[in-house]
């Protein structure tokens, strides 16, 4: 579904990603694990068109998408839930969700997807007319995910969905990520909580200083000594 081939990405003169290649099959949950600043978020931003690679190719469903405008990439079926949620604070929950469907014309489909978002996140239905900025962190995370789903993505990029949330809420968010995946959306997940990410992923890539240093089946990586020592608290 997605093939990233040997991409190099720079912030000014600083190289953030060097020679990264990965692939994602339709229906999978693939996770990127690694320390802060390793380049995981940069990779998601490059796939969604927010950053342009200097070299390399990004191929989605057989077509190159690097260098394309963000809205074109969204239209092709890729949605990005950024780190820090980035909801529109002065707009209501409902308006945020409607904005997610901005590029769509299928009124009936939009209505069905709104209902599906309310099923996944009943809390949002209770807070429809509330300004997004007044929601708790967990509710904002639900809103950011709901808004991304309103674009009807086939590939969902999730950047640090558990950041800053209470453990109980993290469990809920991860259960919902699995539900979204079971309903047919492929997921590329960046997550600091490596244990949790590996527990729901099919495969994983370990990113260190802009390079992929390990990849494999999530279960294999969970039992790898190197991964345990570096990312799973040594257990």
- Show me where the domains of the chain are located: 2-77+153-231, 89-152
Class of domain 2-77+153-231: alpha beta
pLDDT of residue 227: 86
Which has the closest alpha carbon to 89: 130, 145, 148, 47? 130
pLDDT of residue 150: 92
Buried-exposed string 70-89: b where 16+ CB fall within 10 A, e elsewhere? eeebbebbbbbbbbebebee
Overall pTM > 0.75? yes
pLDDT of residue 83: 84
CB of 150 within 8 A of CB of 108?
A: no
What are the residue ranges in the chain where pLDDT is below 50? 235
pLDDT of residue 234: 57
d(CA 147, CA 221): 32
């Amino acid at each position: 579904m997605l093939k990233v081939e040997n991409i190099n990405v720079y912030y000014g003169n600083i190289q953030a990603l060097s020679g990264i290649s990965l692939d994602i099959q339709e229906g999978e949950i693939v996770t990127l694990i690694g320390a802060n600043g390793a380049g995981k978020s940069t990779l998601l931003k490059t796939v969604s068109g927010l950053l342009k690679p200097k070299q390399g190719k990004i191929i989605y469903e057989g077509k190159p998408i690097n260098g394309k405008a963000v809205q074109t990439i969204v239209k092709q079926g890729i949605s990005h839930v950024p780190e820090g949620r980035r909801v529109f604070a002065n707009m209501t929950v409902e308006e945020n969700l409607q904005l997610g469907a901005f590029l769509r014309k299928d009124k009936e489909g939009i209505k069905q997807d709104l209902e599906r978002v309310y099923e996944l996140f009943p809390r949002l239905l209770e807070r429809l007319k509330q300004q997004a900025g007044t929601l708790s962190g967990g509710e904002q995370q639900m809103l950011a995910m709901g808004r991304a789903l309103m674009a009807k993505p086939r590939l969902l990029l999730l950047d640090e969905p558990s950041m800053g949330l209470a453990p109980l809420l993290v469990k809920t968010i991860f259960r919902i990520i699995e539900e979204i995946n079971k309903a047919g959306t492929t997921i590329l997940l960046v997550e600091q909580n490596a244990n949790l990410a590996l527990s729901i992923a099919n495969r994983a890539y370990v990113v260190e200083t802009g390079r992929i240093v390990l990849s494999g089946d999530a279960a294999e990586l969970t039992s790898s000594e190197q991964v345990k020592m570096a990312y799973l608290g040594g257990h």
